[in-house]
Amino acid sequence: MASTIISKDKFQFTDTIREHLAFGIVLTCLFLFLTSAYTKIEEHDRFMNGLLKVAFISHYAWLISWTVPVAEIVVSLFLIIPKTHKWGLYGFIGLMMVFTIYIGSMLLWSEKLPCHCNLLIEKLSWGEHVVFNLAFVGLAAFALWLIKNNQYKSLIKQNDKY
Amino acid sequence: MTNIKKLASGLLVAVLAFGFSAFKNTEKTDQTKLAPFYYGLDATDDVYRIITGSPVFEECTPGAPKDCVLISPTTDFGPDLDANEEAQLSPAEESSPEAYYFN
């Protein structure tokens, strides 16, 4: 019985590893969103021209072309400030899900697919883009789980003191 | 890891992200100065044809077996590319994979 418990513990992350792993994921998400926002602002005309070609959002192209990079910067700020990492990750997952739904709907219904991606990933096809987005959603969800688990553990430790 | 260290690391990554993006854009500007020749894939016969003026990459329509736009930095291969010429060229930086330029 004792040996079973020991071998189970071997596969568990220590608190420090959990914290570092979650923080590494937060920094990766931050880098992705900031490069993406920078590209969208730097090449704003190209980004807006792409949106204008999409039938069901062309009327709001100007609004969307500014809202998306601003939202990415706001989420990035949450990801920079340590106390708001959790909210930053929630925002990251939410925005990535919106982008994924947009790409999915474009793949299903749009005849022409404009390309106005982040410079890091603009060589990806639209199908690969969906997989890339979902992988990052999974990564951010994993980081959230690690953060919540750490908070839960420290709560138990605090209660044990009393 | 203290919150100050985390904040500093976050700011460092932010600076790196902006620096990295700025560096890539400078490269693009240099390429434009060389006045390259662009060839777009024609859907009618899968042949690359010269694009007059600057290519509009948003025109790339998926469903092709090859890249949308090829770039020749200095050499003018004429109006169409044959298989040998096509093999010498690489896709333009903003080209979409597996897409047609002319429909």
A48-52, A53-57, A70-74, B47-51: segment of lowest average pLDDT: A53-57
Task: Quote the minimal CA–CA distance from B24 to chain A in Å.
Answer: 8
ipTM of the complex as predicted: 0.75
* Averaged pLDDT, B39-49: 90
- C-alpha–C-alpha distance, residues A81 and A18, integer Å: 18
Per-residue pLDDT, A124: 72
For A15-39, write each residue's pLDDT tens digit. Answer: 788 889 999 999 999 999 999 999 8
Are A72 and A41 within 8 A, CB to CB? no
For CA atoms A39, A42, A46, A48, the dihedral sign is positive
Position B25 scores a pLDDT of 52
A116 pLDDT band, cuts 50/70/90, is low
Counting residues of chain A whose pLDDT is more than 90, the rounded percentage is: 41
The pLDDT of B96-100, averaged and rounded, is 87
Chain A residues whose C-beta is within 8 A of a chain B C-beta are 19-20, 23, 26-27, 30-31, 34-35, 38-39, 42, 46, 49-50, 53, 76, 79-83, 111-116, 119, 122-123, 125-126
CA distance B58 to B94: 9
Rounded-to-integer distance, Cα B53 and Cα B42, Å:
16
What are the domain boundaries of chain B? 1-33, 37-100
The answer to whether residues A22 and A147 touch, using CB atoms and an 8 Å cutoff, is: yes
Mutate which of A16, A17, A19, A30 to disrupt the B interface (most B C-beta within 10 Å)? Answer: A30
Are residues B17 and A35, on separate chains, in Cβ contact within 8 Å? Answer: yes
In this predicted structure, what is the pLDDT of residue A77?
Answer: 95
Instruction: Tell the residue number behind the tokens 């994921």, with chain if given.
Output: A25
pLDDT digits (tens, 9 = 90+) for A80-110: 999 999 999 999 999 999 999 988 887 787 6
Percent of chain A past pLDDT 70, that is, above it, reads 76
Burial of A91 per CB tally in 10 Å (0-12, 13-18, 19+): buried
d(CA B77, CA B101): 18
Largest separation between any pair of C-alpha atoms in chain B: 63
**Rounded mean pLDDT of A117-146?**
82
- % of chain B beyond a pLDDT of 90: 19
